[in-house]
A and B are shown apart, each in its own frame.
Chain A
């Protein structure tokens, strides 16, 4: 399975939010989409699962335009963890099992084929003790894990995650990223996620796309993309990169915001503001 995004342009009210985005994502790899707030990360993700239709360009899944695939067929291939913070009135288990929706029929109550998968995912995401609680009775971080579990039991070929680690403590950040990495490799998934945590991106992503004002500013491996120069240009911050013995990035420490001669923060000079 290969996901090709070709020449995507998307605009809200004639302002281009995404321009000429082209990239490919392959099996067993995590692709990170990075960029400052408002760079178009979520919009790009929403185009890929057809919540939005781009003004120009095509998105191909194994050579097939996703516009030609019905939504239910698409749901069998692509699963998504959005940033929507809707607290539906269901129990945790009910919510997780809704991931089987595209694979079951209207009056089938339980998909017995998925029993092992469901057990496995619940175990790995450490959700067993919550199963009978309501979604309103768990914390924001727990809800994140619940929705990741829901997306995983959807058995996708492509997994899209919009800030999967937001609301999570450092322990769960690592744990969740490990689980996602494991699933990506084991099931040869095409995993695409937006991230704000540069260190986490450097550590877990195989490829990175750095967006700036709706365009691809840089793309490549983490060490190619996440250079102090690129980060400075895009995020307007000075960073120190902590490298391991083999030159791999261990962490990216933000040091200070870049200011101009008048001591104003450069990042605030965004023409859109």
Chain B
């Protein structure tokens, strides 16, 4: 009888995970088909599945393969990575209001990008490389500040992250203050956007994020246990201190890889895990993959909106995600008592 009840609980989670996966595939097809030039989804599928194309479709094929597909794939990779990072960070902090950006990494990346723009270094070294270097640098600071006798206490991590984020935000503001006419470039980067993404960028991000996404899937079960409390988790066989370090580094790498290329796109990491949690509950074994698919689809649609609303111009995608994210965030805060069943560490 217990088995039946458990199977029912699990079935719902599996179904939603499959639904999210289908949604992601759909979003890719729709994302590729809609734009300044409309391409019917059936034709998109035909071109995508056959690879090459006939004479009549030549132009469509170029648009799809050279322009839209890399961009849509980038959106889904970034959405998936940020959503997973959100699940991991909310699980580790046992706090549903944590976002992947609380570790201060995105602020470090933003400073790196602004720095590169100001010094006009991007002619030599691309902005993403700079952003990534500073993301890693900010992770180091957060980590060293938070570490205590070889452990990584949750509260310390949160506070160190906030401190590092403030520090780099201040430095970024200073860069913007002295930027002069380069200000526009910095602002554009800071808002997050997928403009001009080509296969080269997608390849780099995929090489970085896909292995990280796969590794994350292995942590769902442990993360569940860790949410029962530190001592209980230890008694169940989880090396809490070690796992927490690994997860924090996973989050940092996922965020760094994405943010360095597309800028700090907001709210995906915070909101997507919540949307999914509302449907299937907090079981991280399913929450992580379902959020990945769902987050990927969300960002593909957000990117689509950002491309078509005032076409042929574009709105930076960060604005779109926040426009959707903020109302939901407020809604969440309002019904916190029902949704948040977490016991906030140290509160």
* B126 interface hit (Cβ, 8 Å): no
Pair A101/B221 contact, Cβ less than 8 Å: yes
CB neighbours of B343 from chain A (8 A): 85-88
State in angstroms the CA–CA spacing of A135 and B235 once bound together: 19
State in angstroms the CA–CA spacing of A90 and B227 once bound together: 9
Pair B6/A93 contact, Cβ less than 8 Å: yes
* B239 interface hit (Cβ, 8 Å): yes
CB neighbours of A84 from chain B (8 A): 228-232
Pair B2/A131 contact, Cβ less than 8 Å: yes
CB neighbours of A136 from chain B (8 A): 341
- In chain B between 196 and 240, which residues have their CB closer than 8 angstroms to a CB of chain A? 218, 221, 224-225, 227-232, 234-239
Pair A46/B341 contact, Cβ less than 8 Å: no
Q: Give a binary string over A95-107; 1 marks a CB under 8 Å from any B CB, 0 the rest.
A: 1011101100010
* A74 interface hit (Cβ, 8 Å): yes
Q: In angstroms, how far is the closest chain B Cβ from the Cβ of A246?
A: 38
CB neighbours of A102 from chain B (8 A): 236-237
* A110 interface hit (Cβ, 8 Å): yes
* B1 interface hit (Cβ, 8 Å): yes
* A109 interface hit (Cβ, 8 Å): yes
Pair A90/B235 contact, Cβ less than 8 Å: no
Q: Which stretch of A11-19, A114-122, A178-186, A201-209 is in the interface?
A: A114-122
Pair B232/A101 contact, Cβ less than 8 Å: no
State in angstroms the CA–CA spacing of A80 and B1 once bound together: 26
Q: In angstroms, how far is the closest chain A Cβ from the Cβ of B74?
A: 29
State in angstroms the CA–CA spacing of A107 and B10 once bound together: 13
Pair B229/A86 contact, Cβ less than 8 Å: yes
With A90-B281, A118-B2 as known contacts, state yes or no: A134 contacts B236, CB within 8 Å.
no
Considering the complex, give the chain A residue whose CB is closest to the CB of B234: A51
- In chain A between 55 and 76, which residues have their CB closer than 8 angstroms to a CB of chain B? 71-76
CB neighbours of A197 from chain B (8 A): none
With A118-B2, A119-B1, A136-B341 as known contacts, state yes or no: A89 contacts B237, CB within 8 Å.
no
CB neighbours of A109 from chain B (8 A): 10, 285
State in angstroms the CA–CA spacing of A46 and B234 once bound together: 10
- In chain B between 19 and 56, which residues have their CB closer than 8 angstroms to a CB of chain A? none
CB neighbours of A98 from chain B (8 A): 224-225, 228, 236
State in angstroms the CA–CA spacing of A94 and B3 once bound together: 11
- In chain A between 28 and 46, which residues have their CB closer than 8 angstroms to a CB of chain B? 46
Pair A51/B231 contact, Cβ less than 8 Å: yes
Pair B236/A101 contact, Cβ less than 8 Å: yes
Q: In angstroms, how far is the closest chain B Cβ from the Cβ of A193?
A: 14
Pair B235/A86 contact, Cβ less than 8 Å: no
CB neighbours of A86 from chain B (8 A): 94, 227-229, 232, 343
CB neighbours of A76 from chain B (8 A): 237
State in angstroms the CA–CA spacing of A93 and B237 once bound together: 20
* A91 interface hit (Cβ, 8 Å): yes
Pair B2/A89 contact, Cβ less than 8 Å: no
Q: In angstroms, how far is the closest chain B Cβ from the Cβ of A253?
A: 33
* B314 interface hit (Cβ, 8 Å): no
Considering the complex, give the chain B residue whose CB is closest to the CB of A95: B228
With A89-B341, A94-B283, A118-B2 as known contacts, state yes or no: A78 contacts B235, CB within 8 Å.
yes
Pair B218/A75 contact, Cβ less than 8 Å: no
- In chain B between 249 and 291, which residues have their CB closer than 8 angstroms to a CB of chain A? 281-283, 285
Q: What 9 pairs across the A-B complex have the smallest Cβ distances?
A: A75-B237, A80-B235, A84-B229, A86-B229, A72-B237, A89-B341, A136-B341, A102-B237, A89-B282
* 27 contacts across the A-B interface (CB closer than 8 A): A51-B230, A80-B235, A82-B229, A84-B229, A84-B231, A86-B227, A86-B229, A86-B232, A86-B343, A88-B228, A88-B282, A89-B227, A89-B340, A90-B224, A90-B283, A93-B6, A94-B224, A94-B283, A98-B225, A98-B236, A99-B236, A106-B218, A109-B10, A109-B285, A110-B6, A132-B9, A134-B341
The chain B residues found within 8 Å of chain A, CB to CB, are 1-3, 5-7, 9-10, 94, 218, 221, 224-225, 227-232, 234-239, 281-283, 285, 340-343
